[in-house]
Structure 1
Amino acid sequence: MKIVLSTLNAKYIHTSLALRYLKAYSGREFDIEIAEYTIKDPAMNIVSDLYNRNPDVIGFSCYIWNIEETITVIDMLKKVKPELKIVLGGPEVSYDTKYWMERLQQVDFIVMGEGEETFHHLLTELGGEQKFHFVYGLAYRKGEEIILNPPRPKANLNEIPSPHRFPEDLPHLPNRIVYFETSRGCPFSCQFCLSSIETGVRYFDIERTKQDLLYLIENGAKIIKFVDRTFNIKRDYAMEIFQFLIENHRGCVFQFEITADIMRPEVIDFLAEHAPPGIFRFEIGVQSTHDPTNLAVKRRQNFEKLSRTVTKIRESGKITQHLDLIAGLPLEDYHRFKQTFNDVFALRPEELQLGFLKMLRGTGLRLNAEKYNYVYMERAPYEILGNDILPFSDIVRIKRVEDVLEKYWNAHRMDHTVEYLIQHEFASPFDFFQEFGDYWEARGWQKIGHQLEDLFIRLRSFLEQRNTQRMDIILGLMKYDYLFNHKQRPRKAWWDLTLDKAQLSALIQYAMEYPDQVSGDFAQLGLTERDLFKHAVIEVLPFDMETYLEKGEIIEQKTALIVLYRPQESKAVRSYTMKLEPELTAKYAG
């Protein structure tokens, strides 16, 4: 019996941990292959490849991001190979399973919940007496009847073989995200999350976990993403893993989902002192800062403690933080969500993910959707279209915020500019992103692509049309941000250069003659005029950029900004400033 385990990942760099668990558990007794695709791959290509593998059984791992594309594939497969046994599993089909069996007549079996033992038992019955009624956790067909067997007890995690030891995965480790779990389950009961359905947390043996991590690191893994719902719930376990990774990271990056308001100060202090910069990344689900909303969805959260943790981590400079919000939760209308956004943005996370509530099958919020008059998509991803206090028109507006937030904050293309705007020109961060998002969509820019310079041109257009104050300061910051988005000297600029060739030459000559007048270590670099002409961009700004970067103060003083590009050095881009006194201004900058 030839078995193929397959899924459609969201992106090529993703890998399916679920398929590898199934193969690890059953591969010693059965002939099993893994075949991964993406949701962007043409269905015909996927079906052709699977057909050519000539399987007897195909199992698909199903999630909200791939279920509809998977249905297209299995429908085609069943038509060209009717005798093929098709098995579905995964969170998307583990709930409302009878609905899926009725909707998808081409599906023979559905594995509900944890799949390792159930799938192994199913394969055993397929190759033997086919007594499917003995297989706990299985849905199957008996003639026209759909049978849903009782659920299977939770597995002993230490009896599940490692999913990380397949030789065929080794060549791909440096180029893919490796998903890893140290535990299953979640201690919390958030009603919008599937993890709330499974009570209790089970852990894999920590020595096995360490050995698997070391194996992946030694074989070239670059990104390991831990899928534990709350990695830091068991402090001693988490601390031991943090310590182990600090000692053995070899440049690999590790991503964790943590609950910030339960993280102890001594853990943060330990990471601040010992963690190398950049190897840890924390995802922190805030979702809402509105206490009645959190109470309505059975979410326990102390935002004051969370804020202290996030701030302390940010100040350490060691760990990148990604904070999540969910628009559309109960009791949070447009204006209250704006407050949540501003509360969280005030923490200045490196990334702020603005998501929209999805009414996942099996969750308490979906089961009680009528209580809040939720309207939502009937098919995956089940995103809400409105509720009793957040109409669709407000959801559309918030989506515009999400669009420009991704482009102008999370991508870090102009941090200094955005920071200045939200502090000096707009009532709040949300107001900036909302106004700009409205302007962006009104011009149809969401329908067309963009290059880096387009983002700067469009922001300038938006600011100029609203008669923004101090455009001279803002344009100076935009120029600085643009120049620092390049590792090599840019060939073109989106603005008209302020210096003609003679003025540029005169400024360079002055910098050569009086290098001590230039900030930083410029005098020690020993540059020639030719170096500056070839490797630097020089612009005259109406304020002292160095003081602004150090103290956040605007001192109106014409200043030459020198951005130096030396790709062969570890610090490829450097900036220097040179104050232009009145006589210099007249002589060199016009």
Structure 2
Amino acid sequence: MKTVLASLNAKYIHTNLAIRYLKAAAENEYDIELAEYTINDPILNITGDLYAKKPDVIGFSCYIWNIEETIQVIGMLKKILPDVKVILGGPEVTYDVHYWLNRLQDHADFIVIGEGEKTFKELLDYFSGTIEFSDVHGAASLLEGKMHLRPQPAKADLKTLPSPFRFEEDQSSLGKRITYIETSRGCPFQCQFCLSSIEVGVRYFDREAVKADIRYLMENGARVFKFVDRTFNISRSYAMEMFEFLIEEHVPGTVFQFEITGDIMRPEVIQYLNDHAPAGLFRFEIGVQSTNDHTNELVKRKQNFEKLKRTVTMVRDGGKIAQHLDLIAGLPEENYASFKQTFNDVYELEPEELQLGFLKMLRGTGLRINAADHDYIYMDHAPYEILSNNQLTFDEILRIKQVEDVLEKYWNDHRLDETIAYLTGEVFDTPFDFYQDFGTYWDESGWSRIGHQLEDLFKRLYQFIKAYKPEALENTTYLMKKDYLKNHKFKPRKAWWGKEDKNLSSVYDVLLTDPSIAGEAFSALNLKQKELYKHTVLEEGLKLTDGEPVSTYLLAYYHPKKGIASIFEFPKTSVQHLIS
């Protein structure tokens, strides 16, 4: 019996952990092949590849991001392989089984509910004739219009599950893809927008087995790990033990990312990481979602924002760990003004990444079950994103999406950090006002419908500031030039501001005669004339100094081998009298 376990991932670099657990649970008795694709692959190509494998049984791992594409694949497969047994599993089909069996009655034969290791193995036993369907736990099927649902098995003892990481066929791609790993299942919290709130309690895998897997994965080239534990630091002692292990035994160049609950993180743990963790080894993803206390109460989310701020601030000031903070627009009783406050509260913490997401009414969650309480209107199909509720109109949601668009381009990409800090801190009333005004301008200019290159980001911001805040244009332009030059690894051939008819050769002559004018660091480079002209860019502009515009030279030096830029600034007056 040939069995294929398939998944349509969001991107090529992603891997599906679920199908690997299923294979590990049954591979001793059955021939199982893994097949991974992406949601961007042509449906016919995916179908053709699966057809070529000639499976008797095929299972699909289903999530909100791949369910519609998966349905297209299985629909086509059933036409060309009508006898193949199709099994669906995963969070998207677990919590509304009757709906999925009725919708997919011509395509899906069985649905696995919840954890699948035991159920999947029993289904294969059933197909091979060794047990009856009545002996299968946690599966559903639709026969002659009637749903047959078998009770779920007891929760698996995670310490006994075989490793999903030791397949020989995975070794060659470990260095090219993200490795997902879990040390626990379940969540202690009850956030009503999250599927994890449905499972009560937290169970742990064997610590030493997890460490052995991580060692094996690193030895075979894995470098990017993402822990999928819903709250990695729910047990302080467990988190500390794992942090210590990863610090002591990591391979240089490895990155580990965790989902952290910020307000329960103890300061001594953060201090330990600040003192001992190599820079860049860890990344924290922290779900803030909202700073509105009433909203958090309605979704049963306990959060002490002051303690969360303490955590984020300590991590940020330590300079060792990158942080990704999440917000959700559309939570109950949070209107546009309240979400603006949430955004500004969190933006003030200056995380490396700030993700602005929109509430998705996931099947099985408390918010979806009680959607009428807040007049939620949402998409019928995945990802079930909200369109409006009793606090946010569709127009306001579209406006917040404009904020999301430019936030991603201008903050999370970190191309213009000094410029954005100036605009959000000194020019606009609040950070949200900057992103909203710019996002609206971007959308109304038609830029959201066309692509962009790096230079376009600078030109479009320049155009926006010229139209909205012309009084800040000179200093903004200066900072934009500085950000542009310092973020290049090598001397740019053509800058975004174009060629300016300025003869600055006399300034170069002065710098060759007295390089200390540009500072001690520049003088220490000891550049010769050829090096100065070949490896530097010189510009001038108005820079705010103590609130006053000062005519300033901006010099960028690009090291010919290191691929980094050094920026030097000095007032125009320091060289003008020497030129004359």
Query: Which TM-score bucket, shorter chain as reference?
Result: over 0.9
Q: Any conservation in 1 of the 2:538–2:556 contact (CA below 8 Å)?
A: yes
| 2:567 paired residue number | 575
| 1:564 aligns to 2:557 (yes or no) | yes
Q: How many positions carry a matched residue from both structures?
A: 578
Deviation at 1:463, TM superposition (A): 0.8
| 2:411 paired residue number | 409
Q: What's the C-alpha RMSD, in Å, of the aligned pairs?
A: 1.4
Q: Any conservation in 2 of the 1:558–1:585 contact (CA below 8 Å)?
A: no
| 2:240 paired residue number | 239
String of CA shifts for 1:347-380, please: whole Å, max 9, x gaps.
0111100000000000000000000010000110
Distance change (3 Å), C-alpha of 1:509 and 1:242? same
| 2:434 paired residue number | 432
Tell me, in whole angstroms, the C-alpha distance in 1 between the residues paired with 2:560 and 2:430.
38
Distance change (3 Å), C-alpha of 1:324 and 1:567? farther
Distance change (3 Å), C-alpha of 1:271 and 1:10? same
| 1:390 aligns to 2:383 (yes or no) | no
Distance change (3 Å), C-alpha of 1:35 and 1:520? farther
> Matched residue of 1:233: which SS?
coil
Deviation at 1:497, TM superposition (A): 4.8
Deviation at 1:506, TM superposition (A): 1.3
Deviation at 1:562, TM superposition (A): 1.0
Tell me, in whole angstroms, the C-alpha distance in 1 between the residues paired with 2:543 and 2:369.
58
Q: Select between 460-469 and 167-176 the one with higher mean Cα deviation.
A: 460-469
Deviation at 1:491, TM superposition (A): 0.7
Deviation at 1:423, TM superposition (A): 1.3
Q: Select between 534-543 and 295-304 the one with higher mean Cα deviation.
A: 534-543
Aligned partner letter, 1:117: K
Aligned partner letter, 2:29: E
| 2:382 paired residue number | 380
String of CA shifts for 1:464-503, please: whole Å, max 9, x gaps.
1124323111100000011122111111112145563xx3
String of CA shifts for 1:191-211, please: whole Å, max 9, x gaps.
000000000000011111111
Tell me, in whole angstroms, the C-alpha distance in 1 between the residues paired with 2:130 and 2:473.
78
String of CA shifts for 1:402-457, please: whole Å, max 9, x gaps.
00000000011101001001111111000000000000000110010001110111
Tell me, in whole angstroms, the C-alpha distance in 2 between the residues paired with 1:168 and 1:560.
57
Distance change (3 Å), C-alpha of 1:526 and 1:189? same
> Matched residue of 1:561: which SS?
strand
| 2:9 paired residue number | 9
> Matched residue of 1:278: which SS?
coil
Listed as ranges, the matches of 1:57-72 within 5 Å are 57-72=57-72
Deviation at 1:218, TM superposition (A): 1.5
Tell me, in whole angstroms, the C-alpha distance in 2 between the residues paired with 1:155 and 1:214.
24
Deviation at 1:249, TM superposition (A): 1.7
Deviation at 1:258, TM superposition (A): 0.2
| 1:482 aligns to 2:474 (yes or no) | no
Aligned partner letter, 1:208: A
> Matched residue of 1:381: which SS?
coil
Tell me, in whole angstroms, the C-alpha distance in 1 between the residues paired with 2:469 and 2:422.
16
Aligned partner letter, 2:459: I
Identity, in percent, stands at 58
Tell me, in whole angstroms, the C-alpha distance in 2 between the residues paired with 1:542 and 1:402.
31
Q: Any conservation in 1 of the 2:488–2:564 contact (CA below 8 Å)?
A: no
| 1:522 paired residue number | 522
Listed as ranges, the matches of 1:14-93 within 5 Å are 14-93=14-93
| 2:443 paired residue number | 441
> Matched residue of 1:493: which SS?
coil
Tell me, in whole angstroms, the C-alpha distance in 2 between the residues paired with 1:567 and 1:102.
64
> Matched residue of 2:504: which SS?
helix
Q: Any conservation in 2 of the 1:3–1:31 contact (CA below 8 Å)?
A: yes
> Matched residue of 2:490: which SS?
coil
> Matched residue of 1:107: which SS?
coil
> Matched residue of 1:154: which SS?
coil
Tell me, in whole angstroms, the C-alpha distance in 2 between the residues paired with 1:305 and 1:141.
50
String of CA shifts for 1:119-176, please: whole Å, max 9, x gaps.
0011011101551122111002333321111122100001110111111111111110
Listed as ranges, the matches of 1:141-290 within 5 Å are 141-250=142-251, 251-290=253-292
Listed as ranges, the matches of 1:286-435 within 5 Å are 286-435=288-437
Deviation at 1:554, TM superposition (A): 4.7
Unaligned runs of 5+ in 2: none
Distance change (3 Å), C-alpha of 1:520 and 1:575? farther
String of CA shifts for 1:28-61, please: whole Å, max 9, x gaps.
1100000000000001000000000000000000
Tell me, in whole angstroms, the C-alpha distance in 2 between the residues paired with 1:566 and 1:578.
20
Q: Select between 215-224 and 290-299 the one with higher mean Cα deviation.
A: 215-224
Unaligned runs of 5+ in 1: none
Tell me, in whole angstroms, the C-alpha distance in 2 between the residues paired with 1:484 and 1:517.
20
Tell me, in whole angstroms, the C-alpha distance in 2 between the residues paired with 1:426 and 1:329.
26
Tell me, in whole angstroms, the C-alpha distance in 1 between the residues paired with 2:57 and 2:469.
65
| 2:94 paired residue number | 94
Tell me, in whole angstroms, the C-alpha distance in 2 between the residues paired with 1:520 and 1:477.
22
